[in-house]
Amino acid sequence: MDKLVYNNDMVNGVSEFKHIVIAPHPEIAVAVEESKHIVTFLEDQGLQVTMGLLFDDDLRQKIVQGEFDLLVALGGDGTMLRAGHLCGPHGIPILGINMGRFGFLMEIRQDGWKDAFKRLFRGNFWYENRMMLKAEQVRGDQVLGEWEVVNEAVVSRGGIVRPVQMEVSVDGRFLATYVADGMIASTPTGSTAYALAAGGPILPPELRTILLVPIAPHLSIDRGIVLAEGSSVAIKAFSTHEAVLSVDGQPPIDLADGDCVNIRASDHNLQFIRFQDPGYFYRNLTPHMNQNPSTGNIR
């Protein structure tokens, strides 16, 4: 499988990554400061390096224009989500350096980035490809919005504490009607996020399946469902009060009564730079599960 192949595209000791962008979370001061040291280190290796903050429109435009070969994200898991939204659709690999408190998606610690870059320049790494989703809001025959999804798309109740009725179909065939606080459609990456908190199973990241997990279902199917690879999902929301769509924890989008959210595998993948062997995911499960990220502000 291509995700297991080590990369050796080195010519006279020069990395294949010619233009690297260092992107810290702007609200994590230590990440911004550490980024300056990384820029200096990489420039000393003869590389072209740019530093940009993850939420800057200028950085987004440069990524869209294909100016970078690699993005180095400094922060926590939220930082990696933001980096994924930026880089996934444009095929730019991401190297994460954990400056947050949890770092489920990040392999490199703050004190380990120099060794990681040395391994990178030797070609001693592999690309981990992770599935993304495409979600769209449909009203009648009109598509109102489209989003690329890293973790999950959630159809749920809004501010009023009443359940939403949702008609769920898989591959155009009726599955079930749910009365619940919401429905999570998750990637395998997202199976360790909101879906896990709602009682869903943990899926290995190399899978290309959609996980459906209901949130507080009332007299409805109360188990998560793992769909076959290539399946698509349609969630039609019926509510006399309020229903919303939220993608990867971003601000919610209002849904009108009868709006449908269609979800399928995206045409794009996330590419993470990895140095450990592929078994890292299982080795890290127990240490991460023994932490409680809710006790801190994970960014």
pLDDT of residue 104: 80
Choice among 2, 77, 171, 222 that is catalytic: 77
**What is the pLDDT of the chain when averaged over all its residues?**
90
Q: What is the 3-state secondary structure (H, E, C) of 85-127?
A: HHHHHHCCCEEEEECCCCCCCCCEEHHHHHHHHHHHHCCCCEE
Percent of the chain, pLDDT > 90?
A: 76
Tell me: do 202 and 82 sit in the same domain: no
55 contacts 79 by C-beta, under 8 angstroms: no
Read out DSSP for 45-79?
TT-EEEE--TT-HHHHHHHHTT--SEEEEEESHHH
Domain count of the chain?
Answer: 2
Residues 111 and 215 grouped into a single domain: no
Together in a domain, 26 and 61? yes
Q: How confident is the model at residue 298 (pLDDT cuts 50, 70, 90)?
A: very low
Pairwise CA distance, residues 228 & 130, whole Å: 16
Q: Give the residue among 161, 197, 182, 159 at the shortest CA–CA distance from 261.
A: 182
Q: Are residues 118 and 144 in the same domain?
A: no
The region of weakest confidence among 2-11, 208-217, 261-270 is 2-11
Q: How confident is the model at residue 180 (pLDDT cuts 50, 70, 90)?
A: very high
Q: Are 208 and 287 contained in the same domain?
A: no
Looking at the structure, tell me whether residues 259 and 286 fall in a common domain: no
Given pLDDT bands bounded at 50, 70 and 90, which one contains residue 147? very high
What single-letter DSSP state applies at residue 34?
Answer: H
Same domain, 92 and 167: no
pLDDT tens digits along 97-132: 999 766 788 989 999 999 999 999 999 999 999 999
- In this prediction the pTM is 0.89
Domain span at 228? 132-268
Sign of CA dihedral 275, 281, 287, 292: positive
Please indicate, yes or no, whether residues 146 and 87 belong to a single structural domain of this protein: no
- Which residues does 20 contact at the CB level (< 8 Å), separation at least 6? 42, 47, 48, 49, 50, 68, 69, 70, 71, 72
91 and 202 in a single domain? The answer is no
Claim to verify: residue 165 and residue 90 sit in the same structural domain:
no
Residue with tokens 């995911």: 281
**CATH code of the domain in which 211 resides:** 2.60.200.30
Question: Where residue 120 sits, what CATH number does that domain have?
Answer: 3.40.50.10330
User: CB neighbours of 43 closer than 8 A, spacing ≥ 6?
Assistant: 49
2 in active site = no
Do both 120 and 153 map to the same domain? no
> 82 with 159, same domain?
no
